[in-house]
Amino acid sequence: MGIDPGVARIGWAVVEAGKNPPKAVAYGCITTKQSDAHEQRLLVTYKAFCTLFSRYKPDCVSMEELFFSKNVKTAIHVGEGRGVLLLAAAMHKTLVTSYAPLTIKQTICGDGKAEKIQIQHMVKRILKLKEIPQPDDAADALAIALTHAYSYKIKERTV
Amino acid sequence: MGIDPGVARIGWAVVEAGKNPPKAVAYGCITTKQSDAHEQRLLVTYKAFCTLFSRYKPDCVSMEELFFSKNVKTAIHVGEGRGVLLLAAAMHKTLVTSYAPLTIKQTICGDGKAEKIQIQHMVKRILKLKEIPQPDDAADALAIALTHAYSYKIKERTV
């Protein structure tokens, strides 16, 4: 399972990595209400991911590393959201691997500076989907899941 | 309950605010092992605080706001730890108020630039303790709890 962390929108995607090409099993986006208290949004996120983990029982989780932008307050909130996602994974005894945005872009597009739309096109191509997955957060989560699938395969080959 | 967030050491303190002087009911520090995976440490923290919330049933929680230091990686990890603490509070339907380090120092010592040792002495004095509470993390948590107790009283008076 790939996860694109956040507070308002958290993308998720389950990919079967053993197949060639890898198969998109399910994907979506959990949203939380801006009108809710921050800790309430964390609770909604946590419960939603506990349900997803129980439903799909992923072998492993890959998550985007935090990218600290100009807005430190937003970054802190996203960090808090990420903590809750890590906790949900630990609760379900699922190993988490984190990838920097650059690594994800490099793995999917072969270019660390790839644009969002290029990533989306490559995700569609790799998974042989008819259309670009929607919403964007889910497409990002698919890219994160595929990044781990590829790095995992590489590790398998070299062991 | 006051909480001093962290990953390796998380201070906590339960204060009875209705009394004059306020009374320290219990305080301590939850520690997690550096040798454990980060998400495992978050899980230990979460479970420990769920136990504390069930045991002490605090009316409200006050927590120190994140202070972003030079080490961004540490700050992200502490942010993730803070997310788990906020979740535990939300799980137990406990309202959380956050205070900046400056506000805590100002409330306890009347000086936003007060040193750690000054805070500890004031905490000891306010709570009429025989010694400075140990460890430091617990003393910090007491200061955070007292900050909320005082700001809460002020609000009560002005309503």
> How confident is the model over A94-116, as pLDDT tens digits?
999 999 999 999 999 999 999 99
Distance CA A26, CA A81 (A): 22
Neighbours of A42 (CB within 10 A): 29
Burial of B92 (0-12, 13-18, 19+ CB in 10 A): middle
What is the rounded CA–CA span in Å between residue A16 and residue A27? 12
CA distance A62 to A145: 6
Q: Which of B40, B81, B91 sits opposite A43 (nearest CB)?
A: B91
Handedness of CA B53, B54, B56, B60 (dihedral sign): positive
Residue B43 in contact with residue A47, Cβ under 8 Å? no
Task: Break chain A into its structural domains and give their ranges.
Answer: 2-158
Nearest to B39 among A39, A79, A89 (CB): A89
Give percent above pLDDT 90 in chain B. 81
pTM of the predicted protein model:
0.89
Chain A: residue whose CA lies nearest to B80: A83
A-chain CB neighbours of B92 within 8 Å are none
**What is the helix (H) or strand (E) element at residue A89, kind and residue range?**
helix A72-91
The DSSP letter of residue B110 is S
Chain B nearest-CA distance from A86, in A, is 5
Active site members of B:
4, 64, 137
Question: 3-state DSSP call for residue B132?
Answer: coil
Q: Do A42 and B83 touch (CB under 8 A)?
A: yes
Mean of pLDDT over chain A: 91
DSSP-based three-state secondary structure for B157: helix
pLDDT band, residue A10 (cuts 50/70/90): very high
Q: What does DSSP say about strands B9-16 and B23-31: parallel, antiparallel, or unpaired?
A: antiparallel
8 A C-beta contact, residue B45 and residue B82 = no
What's the ipTM? 0.85
C-alpha A107/C-alpha A120 separation (Å) is: 13
* Bond prior to B58 in cis (omega within 30° of 0): no
Name the CATH superfamily housing domain A2-158.
Ribonuclease H-like superfamily/Ribonuclease H (3.30.420.10)
Q: Which of B40, B62, B84 to mutate to test the interface with A (most CBs of A within 10 A)?
A: B84
A79 at interface of B, judged by CB pairs closer than 8 A: yes
